[in-house]
Chains A and B, each alone.
Chain A
């Protein structure tokens, strides 16, 4: 019998996921490919929240701003430095990570409401800075064009499929890296700090430095997700990163269960599916303009509250407790 180490199992899982997504991408229509790209992007962004909150015990309401940092960095490297889109996405990751590192030094000693307040102010103020610098294009923003798919894929290879490939590949590679990080020594130390910061410090961990590290990694993930988001909507502007995006990500993280990265795809699926469900509900039952515009927000909020009340530790733990109690 072939035995595999956990890390090889993980790698195999991600390769299998990639293979499955490759097959799925060939068999679905353009709309589903486009939505699938959004699911992948949201999954990564939710993963960044889970890494920060579930693994290292910090709370951020400012991840929409960190996504904006990555998005602008990627857009500038394509438009002004004329780099390859894939390299631009890598740059988006690293610039956001670096930004998170600097921010982390400022906020790592803050906890609870102080951290929430600072990141909230960041989420509100950072996108408005785009108006201060002409290079960022003000309210209109700048284009983010990854170009047509390479000619060698053939003429039937659509733009949406190209988006789908880029998103899925980027997200799988990033999540594979992160899953290795959280199962390494660093993941253990993050969890130790989350569970009891004083005990972790007494055991010789440099808790401040580790919290900054977690914040930085999480920012890098958010930056890549931001780059993918503006690739899908072909341009980056302040209005693409409202505060409500941060809140949606938090919703996704809670619905997925903040303890574990395993369900991030589910969270992404939920965030993409809810507006669709709301749309179909509205076309079926009709209603006023106010009702139509408000229904998606209502469904997200209701789901959030239900998740907090009935499955505060995520659907996985809920099933587990059902099994235990019969």
Chain B
């Protein structure tokens, strides 16, 4: 019984972090048709900034705010001064398919090297603002701490805010319109390039938050978020890449699948499970669970 509860709570915590990463990837994919591999680098660089601010100001919350603002700015700058110029030059051919992947991978390497130059490769730890000792349940300590609860709450709240932004505001309408049909959106007077950059900025902020929520239970080093990038990507693909709901649902499915298979079958299934789940989902629905055939554009 305790094992079941612990497994579910672990699934929720990991799922929440994956959800932030997959949301970041989906936001960029929707607005620019780019899978942003640099997301891991942007998120970890934002977390380094958050870490410095936390150390200087003594407050974790100021650090979170700084990481999110820096993440948003970095995302906007990358889109405006890196991605847009590149895609003005590349128009056709097989390179068009791999250029986004290659460009963002190159950017990932550059960002991680810059972190290495500046902070070195040593592991740093970021203190959590609340206790990371597990709660007591029926006189036994379980693997779910006040900090894990905070992670789940923060991720849920930020998802709700994003949903409100997309569904209830004019900015959200512009973002949805530009993602759905850039040409028509442009004709309706929406500044499509600006909404693109806004998508990158939102994604950057989500990545910064993911980093600040993940690193206290791990360590901070240049490659700290690589695994999260892979799992966030897998979650986004499972969810169909098009909708925020799909991204969150995919992340939760992945979180539960990994948590249950590692605690009930074998710990070594951590990575293979992601692949097995992805293959099974894509064999049944090649464009992810929450996508209608119509909405899929290449």
- Interface set of A (CB-CB < 8 Å, partner B): 53-54, 57, 59, 61, 106-107, 109-114, 116-118, 120-122, 124-126, 128-129, 131-132, 194, 243, 247, 250-251, 254, 258-259, 288-291, 293-295, 297-298, 300-302, 304-305, 307-309, 312-313
Contacts and interface: CB of A to CB of B under 8 A. Distances in A.
B97 A112 contact: yes
Contacts of B165: none
A124 B113 contact: no
B105 A250 contact: yes
Contacts of B271: 124-125, 128
B105 A304 contact: yes
B129 interface: no
Given A110-B282, A117-B233, A57 B121 contact: no
A258 B95 contact: yes
Contacts of A288: 120
A250 B99 contact: no
B286 A298 contact: no
A309 B110 contact: no
A118 B282 contact: yes
Interface string B80-122: 0000011001100111011101110111111011101111111
A113 to B, nearest CB: 5
A288 B86 CA distance: 33
A294 B116 contact: yes
Residue among B107, B116, B275 with most chain A CB within 10 A: B275
A259 B92 CA distance: 12
A59 B110 contact: no
Contacts of B114: 298
Contacts of B286: 109-110, 114
B92 to A, nearest CB: 10
Smallest CB-CB A-B distances: 6 pairs: A301-B109, A294-B116, A290-B120, A298-B113, A304-B106, A117-B237
Given A120-B233, A124-B274, A128-B272, A294 B113 contact: yes
A107 B106 CA distance: 25
Contacts of A302: 106, 110
A298 B117 CA distance: 10
Interface in B161-184: none
Given A59-B101, A114-B287, A114-B288, 19 more contacts: A53-B97, A57-B94, A109-B286, A110-B282, A114-B282, A118-B282, A120-B230, A121-B234, A122-B275, A125-B274, A125-B275, A128-B268, A131-B268, A250-B101, A290-B118, A298-B116, A301-B110, A305-B103, A309-B89
Contacts of A243: 226, 230
Nearest to A291: B117
Contacts of B272: 125-126, 128-129, 132
B73 interface: no
Contact of B35 (A111, A116, A247, A301): A116
Interface string B269-289: 011111100110011001110
Contacts of A289: 120-121
A312 B113 contact: no
A131 B272 CA distance: 11
Given A118-B278, A297-B109, A297-B112, A113 B29 contact: yes
Given A117-B278, A131-B268, A259 B110 contact: no
A308 B113 contact: no
A124 B98 CA distance: 20
Contacts of A61: 101
Interface of B: 29, 35, 85-86, 89-90, 93-95, 97-99, 101-103, 105-110, 112-114, 116-122, 222, 226-227, 230, 233-234, 236-237, 241, 266, 268, 270-275, 278-279, 282-283, 286-288, 298
Given A118-B282, A294-B113, A305-B106, A250 B298 contact: no
Contacts of B237: 113-114, 117-118
Contacts of B266: 132
B95 A111 contact: no
7 contacts: A114-B286, A117-B233, A117-B278, A124-B275, A125-B275, A126-B272, A251-B106
Contacts of A290: 116-122
Contact of A313 (B95, B110, B113, B274): B95
B278 A121 contact: yes
Nearest to B278: A121
B233 A308 contact: no
Contacts of A305: 103, 106-107, 110
Contacts of B275: 118, 121-122, 124-126
A36 B295 CA distance: 49
A294 B121 CA distance: 8
A259 B93 CA distance: 9
Nearest to A58: B97
A67 to B, nearest CB: 17
Contacts of B241: 113-114
B279 A106 contact: yes
Instruction: Give the most central of A54, A121, A129: most B CB within 10 Å.
Output: A121
A258 B94 contact: yes
A194 B116 contact: no
A301 B94 contact: no
Nearest to A302: B110
Contact of A308 (B103, B121, B298): B103
Please indicate which of the listed interface residues A57, A194, A297 has the most CB atoms of chain B within 10 Å of its own CB: A297
Contacts of A54: 94
